[in-house]
């Protein structure tokens, strides 16, 4: 039996192990919530992990590392970039797929052919990881751009308010110290 056939046969077990490895990168209470809550609206991160892992597994096994792979990666990498994972932490989940595969296929890896086929699958995972790193960096750049823009907007607004000596409110004009909205932003 080929490695691809074995991977398809053991797909659900490998995916389960891989997801547990990914969830272990989160705090225990968050990981248990993501594992138990199945509603995509109550648990968008868990849902994203579930969908992305399935799609990435299928993509790697089939060797289709194109646009389909990038779209599968996009959601999970965006989440990890916004959550503040370092680049290494954000991408490490892909290498955990290698561990899950080797753990599950251990006994079946007895011939030179099987190791050669596994090397092809692992090389595909490495290619996915490189793409994931690029996506992560773009997402982090975007996060910093948004933060910088927000800081400029706040600074500009503060300068505008200080220059006028009064703060506009819904009902008219107030003195600079009397706007609760402004006070809560500082």
Q: Which pLDDT tens digit goes with each residue over 54-71?
A: 999 998 888 777 766 777
Q: Which of 77, 79, 71, 60 is nearest to 14 (CA)?
A: 60
Mean pLDDT of 156-182: 60
- Mean pLDDT (the chain, rounded): 83
What is the Cα gyration radius of the chain? 23
Quick check: 65 and 127 in contact, CB under 8 A? yes
Q: Which of 60, 137, 71 is nearest to 94 (CA)?
A: 60
For the whole model, what pTM was predicted? 0.71
Residues in contact with 85: Cβ distance below 8 Å, sequence separation at least 6, in sequence order: 25
Paired tokens of 84: 């503040």
Q: Which pLDDT tens digit goes with each residue over 93-147?
A: 999 999 999 999 988 787 888 888 999 999 999 999 999 999 999 988 888 888 8
Paired tokens of 20: 């547990």
Q: Is 167 helix (H, G, I), strand (E, B) or coil?
A: strand
pLDDT bin (cut points 50, 70, 90) of residue 185 is: very low
Q: Count other Cβ atoms within 10 Å, centred on residue 48.
A: 19
């Amino acid at each position: 039996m080929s490695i691809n056939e074995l991977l398809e046969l053991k797909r659900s077990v490998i995916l389960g192990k891989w997801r547990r490895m990914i969830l272990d990168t989160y705090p225990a209470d968050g990981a248990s919530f993501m594992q138990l809550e199945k509603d995509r609206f109550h648990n968008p991160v868990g849902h994203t992990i579930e969908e992305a892992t399935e799609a990435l597994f299928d993509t790697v096994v089939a060797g289709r590392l194109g646009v389909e792979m990038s779209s599968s990666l996009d959601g999970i990498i965006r989440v990890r970039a916004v959550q503040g994972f370092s680049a290494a932490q954000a991408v490490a989940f892909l290498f955990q797929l290698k561990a899950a595969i080797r753990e599950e296929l251990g006994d079946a890896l007895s011939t030179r052919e099987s190791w050669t086929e596994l090397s092809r699958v692992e090389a595909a995972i490495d290619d996915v990881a490189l793409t994931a790193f690029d996506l992560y960096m773009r997402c982090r750049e975007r996060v910093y751009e948004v933060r910088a823009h927000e800081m400029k907007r706040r600074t500009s607004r503060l300068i505008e308010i200080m220059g006028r000596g009064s703060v506009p409110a819904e009902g008219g004009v107030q003195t600079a110290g009397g706007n609760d909205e402004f006070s809560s932003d500082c």
